[in-house]
Amino acid sequence: MQVLVAPTRKDVDCAHASKRWVEIGVPSIHNFRFISKRRILLWALFSLTGIPLHLVFNGSILESKATNGFVAIMASETFLDGARFTLPSVTTSSSYPSTLDNESPLNKTIRSIKSSLDTGVIYMNETKYEPAFQTMKVDYCLSERFHAPCRLSIANPLLLIVCIMCLSKCLLCAYTLKVRSWKSEEPLMTVGDAISSFIAKPDTCTKGMCTLDAEDLHMKPDPERALSSPRPWKKKQVVAGNAVNPGVWILSYMLIGSLLVLGGLLLAPALQTQSLRESRFAHHHKNADVNDSGLKSASLLGLTMISNTPQLLLSLCYMTLNGLITRMLAEFEWASYGIQFKALRVTSPRGIQRSTYRLQLPYRWSIPLLAISSILHWVYSNCFYLSNYECKWFHAVLGKWR
């Protein structure tokens, strides 16, 4: 995508002729006014096809967790010897390996049934029996534990969207390489590309403007007239942050701040339902569900997009932070050429020229950024996620789980 918005030398000359500027070495939409409409369209298509991938990719393959109901049967001890009960399918052929004494709280047993399927038989003391079930003494309980199977479920509509978006990106890449919308001129991808181009072919529009800087372009309507006469050189203390436009800083703070606000909005209702001590990391059955009336009627596609919206914000924050660091490092590289002799870092090196970085940034910056981004995506996917449950009930007539 950076190749599509990178200006060519013709675009730079056009911008300088109209007393404007372009950004080189960074992905910037500021260059839209000077690059061709075809490149803008391709850039927009690349961006639009990436949004559905972030929203539905994680939900295309889901783990289906089994949950269950339970059947409680009240019977006398003669039931063990084959006595009939009101449910004709219940016989003594079933095995009940677990025995619960009468001092164990029954409500605790019922709560534990949430994660496993139990069929319980409660034996009554017949001597304490009174009509109409007024009083009843429980001697002990027998239970049958059923391990509900889990499986992977594939959401075909979501997987189809993912396949279509991936195919679209492949076609866009092939079209971009074949058509080469920047025509015969190579785009200026790095600061070294721009220096090499201006050395080979000096710019007539900026001739004699050796002290020209960004402030002159922003503050003065006609920088050529302002720089027509000599002016004293003033040494200024410049920090790396000055290389970034204030609008870019504001946009970056807004994106990162919105992600923090969204995290707080999700955490507040979650703590009201379940404390941090009771919750578990990753996909765990003890974690509380998000109970919202509006989500109950939502479709699988809607729920998947809602749960993955912060993933999209995380990706936007990564791109924003990457752009900030790229701008500052480009400024450092530009300043370094005035301090000591060094070979240019260009896209197509010749002679002693150096090639560009494989990850756009130096490894000491790009690897930590990628690692932090990957960890944040992984942590979030284990904090707020879509769960798919399949309920199984014991069929009393058939005598099996369905």
Q: What is the pLDDT of residues 8-63, one digit of tens each?
A: 888 888 888 887 888 888 888 888 888 888 888 988 999 899 888 888 887 787 77
Task: Label residue 164 by pLDDT band (50, 70, 90).
Answer: very high
Is residue 23 within 8 Å of residue 12, measured between CB atoms?
no
Instruction: Please tell me the predicted confidence (pLDDT) of residue 134.
Output: 56
What is the rounded radius of gyration, in angstroms, for the C-alpha atoms of the chain?
34
**Which of the pair, 290 or 365, is modelled with greater confidence?**
365
For residue 197 the two structure tokens come to: 């181009």
Task: Please check the confidence at residue 387 and state whether its pLDDT lies above 60.
Answer: yes
Question: For 24-61, what is the HEC assignment?
Answer: CCCCCHHHHHCCCHHHHHHHHHHHHHHHHHHHHHHHCE
3-class SS at 201?
coil
Average model confidence (pLDDT) for the chain?
75
Task: Label residue 260 by pLDDT band (50, 70, 90).
Answer: confident
Q: Which of 106-110, 147-151, 172-176, 243-247 has the lowest mean pLDDT?
A: 106-110
Beta bridge partners, 268, equal: none
Task: Please check the confidence at residue 145 and state whether its pLDDT lies above 50.
Answer: yes
Q: What is the pLDDT of residues 62-82, one digit of tens each?
A: 777 766 666 677 777 777 776
Task: Please check the confidence at residue 131 and state whether its pLDDT lies above 60.
Answer: no
Separation of alpha carbons 24 and 76, rounded Å: 86
Task: Label residue 323 by pLDDT band (50, 70, 90).
Answer: confident
**Which of the pair, 63 or 246, is modelled with greater confidence?**
246
Residue 293: count other Cβ atoms within 10 Å of its Cβ: 6
Residue 322's closest CA among 374, 262, 373?
373
